[in-house]
Amino acid sequence: GQNIDQPTEMTATEGAIVQINCTYQTSGFNGLFWYQQHAGEAPTFLSYNVLDGLEEKGRFSSFLSRSKGYSYLLLKELQMKDSASYLCAVRDPAAGNKLTFGGGTRVLVKP
């Protein structure tokens, strides 16, 4: 089976840093994705990790440890527009390479 866990909600202050953790247990692994979803909108792709280590994209970074089944998304210099849900998803070749999502973490940025 597949199990992907992330916190339900986090609150942070504008300008600060927030780290959203994601742990997964899957039969196989072929990449971990982070998506951002604003209320009432579609998820949009943020980052992709398939090898261990840190991927940096501007204010957003994502880290992966395959041995620990663990990833995090780091949001730096938070802006009000970063208030959204952040979804962790794992692609599992043992499950036909389908993409399975965690429940999402709602991040609220306060002034």
Partner 1 sequence: DARVTQTPRHKVTEMGQEVTMRCQPILGHNTVFWYRQTMMQGLELLAYFRNRAPLDDSGMPKDRFSAEMPDATLATLKIQPSEPRDSAVYFCASGLNSPLHFGNGTRLTVT
Q: Is residue 16 a contact partner of residue 78, using CB atoms and an 8 Å limit?
A: yes
Token couple for 91: 């692609």
Minimum CB–partner distance for residue 91 and partner 1 (Å)? 7
101 binds partner 1 (CB under 8 A): yes
Q: Which stretch binds partner 1 (CB under 8 A): 21-29, 65-73, 75-83, 95-103?
A: 95-103
Order across the sheet with 53-57: list the strands: 3-5, 18-25, 70-75, 60-65, 53-57
Scan residues 20-59 and list those touching partner 1 (CB under 8 A): 31, 33, 41-45, 48
Least CB distance to partner 1 at residue 40 (A): 9
Choice between 82 and 92, CB closer to partner 1 = 92
Phi, psi for 10 (deg, rounded to 5) = -140, 150
Site size with partner 1, rule: CB under 8 A: 19
* Selection from 35, 8, 7 nearest residue 22 by Cα: 7
